[in-house]
Structure 1
């Protein structure tokens, strides 16, 4: 049975080194006795790292390196740490001597913004803040924020209003702010994968909010990734088998601003609306950052628009379920 890893509920690394057997389990506590296991917090969620290695000291050192790297990157990209580089940028509208990782991610964001014709846009934060503020107020209008406030928020959105180079990042319009939540977890997943590979790990499944496989499982078979629209679902509506690929899933059901479930967290940067076109949309790509960004953007696109967003160089494909229950695939066999 495939495990259902979700963006907010599970963060894990299950890895084998030196050709040792690899246990794929939904219950990290049942890891084999020879495994080194770490449990704690990462990216605001419970995390479990399991590494199988005949040298336990080496395994413990590698896990410590992973934990330190995740913490370092979270200090750059997190919206929930007031001392992060991103929060500083949003507070003052500019950032001098930005971390090189932030510039690297913004360069990727520009590519995704262009590829999706603006459906992926990190400057969505003012719109997110408007919805969050509106529905947190007592007696909030169930119809959503007033049209005038939506119009004002939309004037602050647009990745073309972000200027950046290795020396500085700046917003060119007042009131702009960014959220990297739609891509940073994938970016961090990719960084952890690189760290593991450089340490000689050849078989691993990494989940830092998105899944990415290093090679196949230790027995040579593909990794199985279960897909579901609900975070607490115990049953997959589809199972993907991957080797050296990443999978990211977006679903409006993941978070709602309102109690009725009318306004989901996937917001259209062009209109300010919260369309719910799909029960879930999953993207498979070579890198987790690409899968992460595209799954968000494609959730706002009609099915006929999706193939145009699949760049051949990314070897990306899509598996989705519409709100009516129709199961569609693009760029996949079958």
Structure 2
């Protein structure tokens, strides 16, 4: 049986590093290429959300652009504080300790609503409660015990209504790690656009949104690496998002942070990574998580139903 929430969260903190890296840093590296532009784009990078977040804008850097980038990073920091589960005083931190919360920020409600829609669209391959199973497995739960936890961890066990947000079992944990980073990337893009900076690329640890052009009306281009560390696919992006999910980094630390979906073929070989291209980063982020959890055949069908382009990278 899982430990109590409070004891369990203390154990995570003591394990070293887990709570210091709230968002998984995917092993698949996204590479900006700018050949043929007049000047290299100007790039500013901050450590946020447990990863490096970069904002690239068209050169030269103006005062207006500099102020826009600062405003965008400030908004990202604000949203991170509302959507993380890794801070005990944050809404999800409180939910995971107490089992219920009444005060739900509008942004959190928005991300939760989108999460429920994507859970339904992917037949629960995307699941905000899947972290419960992953953490139980980290604790050594196996066999029937793990199966019982998986049965508890259906998305419908997370209830959102006018009275607040609650978990149906004291053993459950909620995480928006598979969608919140994309949501924040979209918010960054919105801030930049409102400040008149229409040419930009945002890269938050593999969750990318590109708008406009780096120069000469060329698209931004992103490279997706394979398991050998080589760029296997170059994707042009303009007004689109690309997100990549994989387990390479977490496996190097001895665990899987994305487990196979319950209806994936048990003998199917898992991918090295799954990338999803969509109209916005929140959608791409959530779908890349779901597609990686599925076997490749199921992932292809799920992406097609959702109108998302699926880019698999074999192991």
What TM-score do you get using the length of structure 2 for normalisation? 0.79
Q: Structure 1 pair 167/21, CA: closer, same or farther in 2 (3 Å)?
A: farther
Residue 82 (structure 1) shift = 2.3
8 A Cα contact 1:229 1:251, kept in partner: no
Alignment of 1:52-67 (within 5 A): 56-67=62-73
C-alpha distance in 2, partners of 1:189/1:46?
A: 12
What does residue 297 of structure 1 align with?
A: 290
Q: Structure 1 pair 68/122, CA: closer, same or farther in 2 (3 Å)?
A: same
Within the candidate set 169, 173, 176, 1:177 is matched to 173
Alignment of 1:1-334 (within 5 A): 7=26, 23-24=40-41, 31=42, 38-51=44-57, 56-134=62-140, 145-165=141-161, 167-209=163-205, 210-229=207-226, 233=229, 235-256=230-251, 259=254, 264-268=256-260, 270=262, 277-310=270-303, 315-323=307-315
SS of 1:246 mapped into structure 2: strand
Structure with more of its chain in helix, by fraction: 2
Superposed CA deviations along residues 59-111 of structure 1, whole A, max 9, x for unmatched, are: 33222211211111111122322222111111111111201111111111111
SS of 1:296 mapped into structure 2: helix
* Aligned-residue CA RMSD (Å): 3.2
Q: Which runs of 5+ in 1 are unaligned?
A: 1-5, 15-19, 25-30, 32-36, 135-144, 324-334
SS of 1:216 mapped into structure 2: coil
Q: Structure 1 pair 249/39, CA: closer, same or farther in 2 (3 Å)?
A: closer
Q: Structure 1 pair 61/309, CA: closer, same or farther in 2 (3 Å)?
A: same
What TM-score do you get using the length of structure 1 for normalisation? 0.75
Residue 290 (structure 1) shift = 1.0
SS of 1:170 mapped into structure 2: strand
8 A Cα contact 1:13 1:207, kept in partner: no
C-alpha distance in 2, partners of 1:45/1:129?
A: 21
8 A Cα contact 2:46 2:54, kept in partner: yes
8 A Cα contact 1:267 1:274, kept in partner: no
8 A Cα contact 1:11 1:48, kept in partner: no
Q: Which runs of 5+ in 2 are unaligned?
A: 1-24
8 A Cα contact 2:30 2:224, kept in partner: no
SS of 1:282 mapped into structure 2: strand
SS of 2:231 mapped into structure 1: coil
User: Number of aligned pairs?
Assistant: 287
Superposed CA deviations along residues 249-291 of structure 1, whole A, max 9, x for unmatched, are: 12232321765xxx53221353799975112211111111111
Residue 301 (structure 1) shift = 2.4
SS of 2:251 mapped into structure 1: coil
8 A Cα contact 1:94 1:170, kept in partner: yes
Q: Structure 1 pair 8/186, CA: closer, same or farther in 2 (3 Å)?
A: farther
What does residue 329 of structure 1 align with?
A: none
